[in-house]
Amino acid sequence: MKTLKKNTRPTLLLLCLTLLSCNSLLGQVRVYDIPLDSIKQYVIDNPEYLTQVNQRTIHPDTIITTEEYFYLYYGSAYLQGYSPYLERSSAIVPYEFLNQEKYQEAIDICKSQIIANPGFVRPFYFLGVAYEQLGDTISAQKFYKRFYDFLSIPYYSGTGNSADSAFVVRSIDDEYIIVGELGLESESQALIFENDIPFDILYVRTQNDTIPQEMYFNITQPYLLGLGLKSEKEDNKKDEKKPRKDKNKKSKD
Number of Cα atoms under 13 Å in the Cβ half of residue 239 = 6
Q: pLDDT digits over 182-205, tens only?
A: 999 999 999 999 999 999 999 999
Asked whether 164 and 28 are in contact (CB, 8 A), the reply is no
What lies within 8 Å, CB to CB, of 245 at 6+ separation is none
Asked whether 157 and 32 are in contact (CB, 8 A), the reply is yes
* pLDDT band (50, 70, 90) for residue 24: low
pLDDT value, residue 243: 42
Amino acid making up residue 127: L
User: Could you count the other beta carbons within 10 Å of the beta carbon of residue 210?
Assistant: 5
Round to whole Å and give the CA distance between 72 and 70.
Answer: 5
- DSSP bridge pairs for 198: 193
pLDDT value, residue 12: 43
pLDDT over 80 (residue 244) = no
User: Could you count the other beta carbons within 10 Å of the beta carbon of residue 170?
Assistant: 28
pLDDT value, residue 15: 41
Round to whole Å and give the CA distance between 86 and 176.
Answer: 14
Q: pLDDT digits over 87-139, tens only?
A: 989 999 999 999 999 999 999 999 999 999 999 999 999 999 999 999 999 99
